[in-house]
Amino acid sequence: MNSLLQLIGDGGHALAAALYAALAIYILRGHEAKLERNLLFAAVVATSLWALHTAFSSVTEPLSGLSESLRNGLWLLFMFVMLRHGEGSTTRHPISITFIYGVLGGVLAMQTVADLLPDLSMTASFQSLVVLSLLLRMMFAIGALVLVHNLFTISAPEGRARIALVMAALVAMWTYDLNLYGIAGLSNTDASEIYALRGMGMAILALVMGVGMRGGGEWRLRLSRTVAFRSLSLVAVGLYLVVLAIVIVAIEWLAGPYARLIEVAATFSGLVAALVLLPSQRFRSLVKVLISKHFFQHRYDYRSEWMRFVDTIGAPDVDAAPIYERVVKAVADITESSSALLLLPDESGALTVECVWNWPATTVPTKAMNAADAAGLKRTGFIIDFDELRSGGGSRDVAPWMMSDSAVWALVPLIHFDRLIGAILLGRPRVDRRLDWEDFDMLRTAGRQVASYISEAQGQQALEDARRFDEFNRRFAFIIHDVKNLVSQLSLLSRNAERHADNPDFRADMILTLRDSVGKMNDLLARLSQHNKGRQDEPRAIDVCAVANAVATARARQRLVKVTGSASDAMADPQRLEQILVHLVQNAIDASAPDAPVILHLGTDGDGVTIQVIDRGTGMSADFIRRDLFKPFSSSKADGFGIGAFEARELARSMDGRIDVESRVGEGSCFTLTLPRARSNHHSTSQERAA
């Protein structure tokens, strides 16, 4: 190393030593005395001592390697304590976390042993020792970078800002070391320049750490459970690479000619183990349980559990499972139960099986719990732990088959406003364990929420049934009104039959009338059927004159009906149009004198086709038209149902039409039906006709 590089290297490390010493004093004065503060202070002091020693010696001396190992060890211990003392962790089971950091501690120990070996001669064994030392330093740098990433990612977002710059400085430090030792150990190039520039880089990192520590920051983190599960795989992969590298070096060193065979066998065994264990749901559940127990104070991440619970129940997909199956699965997923049953009360109060999820149905009786036991479950509202009952730790009234079936694990009552909506019977989870207070709290809360969902679903079903009955009653009321019109027509036919039975023309006309009435009655019965969804033909271009003439002809036996005027084709359904005209004409006939004709006048009004039903009958007042005319079941006739005008208006609206009324008491009425005009310009005309 030439004099300029020597000057840069020594000066840079000396500057770094001074800056880290100043940073240590700042930490000692400005931070609250806690274990994290003390370890941070120790790590910064060790970094200062390492930089100072490097400035006055060579990096190839053993003491330089030891001081670097001390620096790395204290920074590793600082991260470990931050992880263990962070909010969301627990000290009840330190083995798993100690193992993660212990591997790197072992690497540091091996590196220290390599630095302390007394053979300093330039022999082949010394060259191998140097390569091993460089390799161990590279391994430590890789593992340390993985752990820095883990510590940063598992911290909650509000805690990351407090450690961001310090973690960034550590990442830069160990990344520089990784590149330095990689170039020095794996290539034949001279790394003197990189050694010399490390001091200036460490000085810059001291300033970055100082900025990150301003304000006397709090070094207690809040850990994020969700990210911890995801980042653990990255930590495992990093540790696996470190261990694998150590094992390969050891095999090459110890096994000699058999090293390649041992490496292939170990790789094959690891691959087989991964293929067997990783796809196993039971293995993943076991890992999740172990992580929750050793890393976190609480078993459940309540936020994520509740979001998953709500997403499972409220699945918006049209192909989603029925609501009962979704609520059972949502509760079972909380405890990772492998099966579950939904029990709902019947008329007697006993609980019967309503939904089965992954449960062997052959082992479940029709009545899962009698009415007396269900009443006791409602009265207490307690979650039943069957393992505790089987061990004699409690007394509850439960069905004998539940006690005898070892797969039955817990019974969760579903209480909604002091009413037992049902119960969920949970099967044993994939990783068997005992229920604790967290399980009881979580299942009790979920049970109440599920009870509200089920109660709402049952209420919606009741409303749907009521809506169907309402639709049936509405349809029935319309049909009864149409039957009334048919009865009036048949009554007139029967009265005339007494006087004209011998007339051949009358008999032929009577047969046509009966056939028409039977056909209409069959149509009415079809409309009343539950399989009839009430769907009608879409409006199309029709000749309104033909429909008006047909209605006039059908009513000719009762009254003189005249069809006048002309109109273009209208967009309408012929059956609905005929039904409207029948109602309006019948009302006009009922309101008129026996010798007064009823007029159907066809015309146009802008983009609409109009059909006016005009009579010279008793007429209606403005108040009756405004308040009662189109009100269901309101009629001015003694034998009327009050349905005809209402049904006519609803039918007109269903075809984008409308009905307007003009009337004066004692002068008659005019009902105007307006329908959209068809696009065709074809016009139909009609001649004035008397029937």
Residue type present at position 154: I
Average pLDDT over residues 48-76: 80
Q: Does domain 540-685 have CATH number 2.60.40.10?
A: no
Helices assigned H by DSSP within 501-643: 504-528, 544-554, 574-591, 622-627
Burial (CB < 10 A; 0-12, 13-18, 19+), residue 309, is buried
CA atoms of 483 and 480, how far apart (whole Å): 5
Q: If pLDDT is split at 50, 70 and 90, which confidence band does 166 have?
A: confident
Rounded Cα–Cα distance for residues 9 and 194 (Å):
9
Q: How far apart are CA 673 and CA 609, in angstroms?
A: 8
Residue type present at position 254: L
**110 within 8 A of 136, measured Cβ to Cβ:** yes
Long-range Cβ contacts of 632-640 (<8 Å, 24+ apart): 632/477, 633/477, 637/590, 640/590
Give 490's contacts (C-beta < 8 A, 6+ positions apart). 513, 514, 517
Tokens of residue 530, six digits: 């539950």
Considering the chain, what is the average pLDDT of its residues?
75
Q: Which amino acid is at 95?
A: I
Instruction: Report whether pLDDT(24) > 80.
Output: yes
Which comes out higher in pLDDT, residue 169 or 475?
169
pLDDT at 246: 61
- Sign of the CA dihedral running 423, 429, 435, 439: negative
Position 40, amino acid: L
Side chain identity at 404, as an amino acid letter? S
In this prediction, residue 615 carries a pLDDT of 93
Contacts of 465 (CB under 8 A, 6+ apart): none
Euclidean distance between CA atoms 582 and 617, whole angstroms: 17
pLDDT at 94: 39
pLDDT score of 534 more than 50: no
Which of 130-139, 380-389, 479-488 tops mean pLDDT? 380-389
* pTM beyond cutoff 0.75: no
Q: By the 8 A CB rule, do 521 and 486 touch? A: yes
pLDDT (tens digit, 9 = 90+) per residue, 269-301?
655 565 555 445 555 555 555 555 544 445 566
The residues facing 80 across adjacent strands are: none
Residue 484: its pLDDT value, please? 67
SS3 of the chain: helix, strand, coil, percent, to 5: 60, 15, 25
Q: How far apart are CA 643 and CA 633, in angstroms?
A: 6
Which residues are bridge partners to 313 per DSSP? none
**Distance from C-alpha of 75 to C-alpha of 174, rounded to nearest angstrom:** 11
Residue 13 carries which DSSP code?
A: H
Instruction: With a cut of 60, say whether residue 112 has pLDDT above it.
Output: yes
Query: CA 475 → CA 468, 470, 481, distances in Å?
Result: 10, 8, 10
Is residue 684's pLDDT more than 50?
Answer: no
What confidence tier does 669 reach under pLDDT thresholds 50, 70, 90? very high
Helix (H) or strand (E) holding 93: none
Q: What is the pLDDT of residues 601-615, one digit of tens each?
A: 999 888 899 999 999
Q: Report the relative pairing of strands 570-572 and 598-605 from DSSP bridges.
A: unpaired
Token couple for 69: 């190992």
Q: How confident is the model at residue 690 (pLDDT cuts 50, 70, 90)?
A: very low
**Domain coordinates in residue numbering, the chain:** 3-294, 312-458, 540-685
Measured CA to CA, the distance from residue 605 to residue 230 in angstroms comes to 71
SS3 370: coil
| 49, 67, 121, 130, 202 from 60: Cα distances, Å | 16, 12, 13, 10, 19
Average pLDDT on 105-129 reads 66
Percent of the chain with pLDDT over 90: 8
Determine the 3-state secondary structure of 518 from DSSP: helix
Average pLDDT over residues 616-629: 84
Average of pLDDT values for 237-256? 59
For 189-200, the pLDDT digits (tens) are 566 777 778 888
DSSP state of 177: H
Which residue do the tokens 């075809």 mark?
655
Residue 606 carries which side chain, given as an amino acid letter?
A: G
Task: Between 519 and 256, name the one with better pLDDT.
Answer: 519
Q: How far is CA 536 from CA 28, 456, 654, in A?
A: 86, 33, 10
The answer to whether the CB of 167 falls within 8 A of the CB of 40 is: no
Confidence of residue 63 (pLDDT cuts 50, 70, 90): low
Do residues 547 and 574 touch, judged by C-beta distance below 8 A?
A: yes
Q: How far apart (Å, rounded) are the C-alpha atoms in residues 372 and 188?
A: 86
pLDDT at residue number 681:
45
CB 87 within 8 A of CB 221: yes
- pLDDT tens profile 385-423: 888 888 876 666 788 888 888 888 899 999 888 889 899
The CA distance from 545 to 684, in Å, is 7
Residue 330: which pLDDT band, with cuts at 50, 70 and 90?
Answer: confident
Measure the CA–CA gap between 388 and 148, rounded to whole angstroms: 44
**What secondary structure letter does DSSP report for 320?**
P
Query: What's the CA gap between 468 and 242, in Å, rounded?
Result: 69
Averaged pLDDT, 364-375: 84
The letter for the amino acid at 11 is G
- The C-alpha atoms of residue 47 and residue 669 are separated, in whole angstroms, by 105
**Beta carbons within 8 Å of 548's beta carbon, 6+ residues apart:** 563, 581, 600, 602, 611, 686
Label residue 685 by pLDDT band (50, 70, 90): very low
Q: Are the C-beta atoms of 674 and 610 separated by less than 8 Å?
A: yes
| Residue 611 bridge partners (DSSP) | 602, 673
CB atoms within 10 A of CB 575: 13
312-458 has CATH 3.50.50.60 classification: no
Residue pointed to by tokens 């019948």: 586
Q: Are 76 and 104 in contact (CB under 8 A)?
A: yes
For residue 46, how many other CB atoms are within 10 A of its CB? 21
Among 109, 181, 100, residue whose Cα is nearest residue 138: 181
More confident residue, 323 or 542: 542
- Band of pLDDT at residue 531, cut at 50, 70 and 90: very low
Q: Do the Cβ atoms of 182 and 137 come closer than 8 Å?
A: no
Distance CA 51, CA 555 (A): 114
Asked if pLDDT for residue 184 goes beyond 80, the answer is no
Could you tell me if residue 422 is left (phi over 0), alpha (psi between -120 and 50 degrees) or otherwise beta?
left
How many of the other CB atoms lie within 10 Å of CB of 26?
A: 17
pLDDT, position 271: 54
Poorest-pLDDT segment among 48-57, 62-71, 322-331, 509-518: 509-518
Give the strands of the sheet with 561-568, arranged side by side: 658-664, 668-676, 608-615, 598-605, 561-568, 683-685
